[in-house]
Structure 1
Amino acid sequence: MKWTEMLRWYSLAALFALFLSCSSDRLDVNIDADPVDLPVLRMEKDLPDQLISLEKANSVNEELLRTYGSLYELFVGKMIREGSVHDPMIGNYLMKRFNSDLLMKEVLPELRTEFSDFDQYEKEIEQALAYCQHYFPDSALPDNIITFFSYFNAHAMVVDNNLCVGLEMYLGKDHTLVEKLPVMDFPKFFKDKMDKRYLVANAIKAWLLENFYACSGEDFLDKIIAAGKIMYLMDAILPQSSAGIKMGYSDQEVEWAKVNEYKVWQYMVEQEMLYSKDEMLEVNWITDGPFTKGLSDDSPARMGIWMGWQMVRDYMNANPDVALHELVSETNSKRILKYYDPKG
């Protein structure tokens, strides 16, 4: 099928879908009767400022391991790279690290000050998880919310069913410590997103990716639809959040994505991207960067995710009887695509 015919076909299918859509908002639900209340653990507060003896170092190591388990193992082994917490010499390694690491000595006090009160973030995360429980009553909740210092490695992650937030990733691009980070490792587009306003959305996205992400095939279409499903779940679970917050876009990037959606669709069809198995498309269109490779330099990164999101939105708008768990289970990406209207 020629690309012009493909464009015409999907436009007609989407127009037909418009007449099938329901005017009620499926995502307008009340969760007040089922609140979520989770323990919050503050690992950055429990890390020592210094270790004055080997005995103290070993004691702290054991206590942190008991409290934080695999997250602490990950912190020591992968983030500060001091090896196994079970190494007989770990006390010596930790003494040297905590007593001499200048970055840690600068960052930890800042985190304890900037995020001394985590209550509002906790409330928003718990509210989002209450929505998640509403739509997926059989799904598990996190055992804990854990805040920690990831040594600038992770915005948010799920470890042993704990929802973990790397607080230093939200100090703000203008914070002195963030400004000092090397540009080669932390380019401008990365620092721009080191903002508190993205904390809750990033945490929820990490939870959704861990528990609901499933790609049904190897085609580029399958990958962007899978990512689009997660974004639609974000619509449901963070109903008050803007598109920019959910995508990690600035207002200007959101506007670019909206204005240029049809042109991007045309480009994807012309380049025969949808059913391609070229792994570089995922790198260029789904992973983060300064812009989306193949589009103009003023485009936002991850336009593949944006496009998949719009496809899923159109599908759900046209099929009001499809529940969210059915969307997650849908493996036919073409079925979702046929309802897409790139002209909006």
Structure 2
Amino acid sequence: MKSKLLLILSLSFYLFSCNGQNTHIPAAVTSAAPVKINRFDKELFKLVDTGDSTRQAEITGGYPQMLDVLGKGILNMKSPAMPGFFDKLTSYYSEPTLKSLYADAIRQYDDVSQIEQQLGNGFAWLKACFPSMQIPAIYMHVSGFNQNVLVGDSLLSISIDKYLGEEYPLYQEFFYDFQRRLMTPEHIVPDYLAGWLMSEYPFEGKENVLLDRMIYEGKIKYLIHQAFPELTPEQLMGYTVASYNWCKENEANLWKAIIERKHLYTPDQMTTTKYFDSTPSVFLSSDAPGNIGSWIGWQIVDKYMKETDATPEALMQNNDSQAILTASKYKP
């Protein structure tokens, strides 16, 4: 089977609660069967920690596809069968700071039963929206702040060292506060689902056109919030309450600035990228938070879903960003 690999460095999250006016949106699920998480992270750490090469055959037999995906995504090695694969693997994870981070991650996530329940609820909701969607095998890994989400054929894994909490000491050294707000346990399950949605419905627009990127990111954020409405919009976006309120109060001004600067349609990769960076969007306003493009995209998609009563499947299959904007009647 031909392997596909989707590497998602960071998954930025969400905003603006929907009022449930679309009759085709299933209610969030709260009592589905849990989804089992395959603890590749624990098994790999045993190999790294003990240096026992006899474990190589065991982990190769138990997690062949996960080794393949991790090797390509993190080690830049095409196959676990390549000479020196396990030497490079153990060397990478034996770096003292990374090894300590690894140990902290699997200690904090020793028991993942609550996450498994939330995953069960989330994927049950996705299955209700997308009946033909295949539910992947779920894994956990540690990347050392490298690839946050790894997706392969029928496989989805998340890097748990990204979710140790805002106050985790090592985060204080390497990340800004606006980045750390997304590095908390409540973002694990939304990131799992967003990663799978983006794998099943990859971006097909023009990467350098702001509107295309906005609508795509807005679709993902809209659907994830429908699956987990208990999470506040500011939590999902990684915003403070003040930043979230600022966005709502200044939505019309933000949209006006985008139109006046001709950013919406002009194919400019550098400018478009700025709208999706986690860094505060000071190019628009000194008070604007980061990832403002995703925020506005969510507002457009939310309006579109209310105006058209479209199904989630129809939403994801519609790749005409201009048609979505027009039908949304978005005029903040």
* TM-score where L is the length of structure 2: 0.82
Q: Which runs of 5+ in 1 are unaligned?
A: 1-20
1:167 and 2:155 aligned:
no
Match of residue 325, structure 1, among 299, 310, 313: 313
Task: Show the counterpart of 2:151.
Answer: 158
1:279 and 2:269 aligned:
yes
1:40 and 2:34 aligned:
no
Structure 1 residues 96-134: Cα deviation after superposition (integer angstroms, max 9, x where no partner):
556x52124312321222111111111112201111100
Task: Show the counterpart of 1:193.
Answer: 182
Secondary structure of the residue aligned to 2:63 is helix
After the TM superposition, which of the residue ranges 329-338 and 266-275 deviates more from structure 2? 329-338
- Paired AA for residue 324 in structure 1: P
Task: Show the counterpart of 2:25.
Answer: 27
Q: 2 CA distance for matches of 1:301 and 1:68? A: 37
Larger Rg computed on CA atoms: 1
198 and 22 in structure 1: CA distance in 2 versus 1, 3 angstrom threshold: closer
State whether residues 234 and 241 of structure 2, in contact with CA within 8 Å, keep that contact through their aligned partners in structure 1: yes
Q: How does 1:1-344 map to 2 (within 5 A)?
A: 26-27=24-25, 29=27, 31=29, 35-46=32-43, 47-48=45-46, 49-52=48-51, 56-57=52-53, 59-76=54-71, 78-79=73-74, 85-93=80-88, 100-142=94-136, 144-179=137-172, 181=173, 183=174, 186-217=175-206, 219-286=209-276, 288-320=277-309, 322-338=310-326, 339-343=328-332
Give the CA deviation at 1:265: 0.5
Give the CA deviation at 1:187: 4.0
After the TM superposition, which of the residue ranges 191-200 and 119-128 deviates more from structure 2? 191-200
Structure 1 residues 244-288: Cα deviation after superposition (integer angstroms, max 9, x where no partner):
2332323232222211111100001111122211112321012x2
Q: 2 CA distance for matches of 1:161 and 1:324? A: 21
- Equivalent pairs, count: 310
The Cα RMSD (Å) is 2.8
Q: 2 CA distance for matches of 1:30 and 1:79? A: 34
Identity %: 24
91 and 27 in structure 1: CA distance in 2 versus 1, 3 angstrom threshold: closer
Structure 1 residues 166-219: Cα deviation after superposition (integer angstroms, max 9, x where no partner):
11101123112333x4x3xx4443233211122221121111111124434563
Task: Show the counterpart of 1:11.
Answer: none
State whether residues 263 and 272 of structure 2, in contact with CA within 8 Å, keep that contact through their aligned partners in structure 1: no
State whether residues 22 and 318 of structure 1, in contact with CA within 8 Å, keep that contact through their aligned partners in structure 2: no
* TM-score where L is the length of structure 1: 0.80
- Paired AA for residue 49 in structure 2: Q
Give the CA deviation at 1:290: 1.7
Secondary structure of the residue aligned to 1:173 is coil
State whether residues 145 and 163 of structure 1, in contact with CA within 8 Å, keep that contact through their aligned partners in structure 2: yes
94 and 237 in structure 1: CA distance in 2 versus 1, 3 angstrom threshold: closer
Give the CA deviation at 1:70: 3.6
Q: Which has the higher contact order (CA 8 A, sep 6+)?
A: 2
Q: 1 CA distance for matches of 2:245 and 2:88? A: 50
Q: 2 CA distance for matches of 1:93 and 1:226? A: 37
Q: Which runs of 5+ in 2 are unaligned?
A: 1-18
Give the CA deviation at 1:147: 1.2
Give the CA deviation at 1:324: 1.6
- Paired AA for residue 123 in structure 1: Q
Q: 2 CA distance for matches of 1:92 and 1:157? A: 21
